[in-house]
Amino acid sequence: MPTASRDIIVSNSLGLHARPAMQFVDTANRFHSRVTVSKGGEEPYEADGKSVMQMIILAATQGTPLRINADGDDAEAAVNSLAQLFADKFGEE
């Protein structure tokens, strides 16, 4: 099974609050791959990238490094699309 992962940094000033979390999950759901997002540091956590609740629990503030992981036939495409959301700051500042 193909896997892909990408390291990104949360760059929008409000961080990964509910709206971006939902946007992430909506995008993740367009792919068959299993998607997880992991956070290291003092409170490591791995969120199911298709669960809004778990994505919000990441509490990823601006500047937080995260790793997007995908596992499945479309893993590479999923990671590309999801990383692009962070690059675009979810349409925020």
Partner 1 sequence: MKLREFIVPEAIVPELSASNRDEALRELVLALSGAGAVSPAAVDPIVAALIAREQGGSTGFGKGVAVPHVKHAAVKKMAGTIGRTAAGIDFTALDHQPVYTIVLLLSPENQPQQHLQAMNVVFSNLQKDMFRRFLRQSTNRASILELLEEADLGK
Grouping H, G, I as helix, E, B as strand and the rest as coil, residue 72 is coil
| Residue number, 4 or 60, with CB nearest to partner 1 | 60
Pull the structure tokens for residue 12: 């929008």
Per-residue x/- track, 54-83, partner 1 (CB under 8 A): x-xxxxxxx---------------------
Closest to 65 (Cα-Cα) out of 90, 83, 52: 83
| Residue number, 1 or 41, with CB nearest to partner 1 | 41
Looking only at residues 19 through 58 of this chain, which bind partner 1 when binding is defined by CB under 8 A? Answer: 19, 22, 52-54, 56-58
Beta-sheet strand order (sheet of 45-48): 3-9, 65-71, 34-39, 45-48
Number of C-alpha atoms within 13 angstroms, CB side, residue 59? 6
| Residue number, 52 or 77, with CB nearest to partner 1 | 52
Size of the site for partner 1 (CB under 8 A): 18
Q: Which residues bind partner 1 (CB under 8 A)?
A: 13-19, 22, 52-54, 56-62
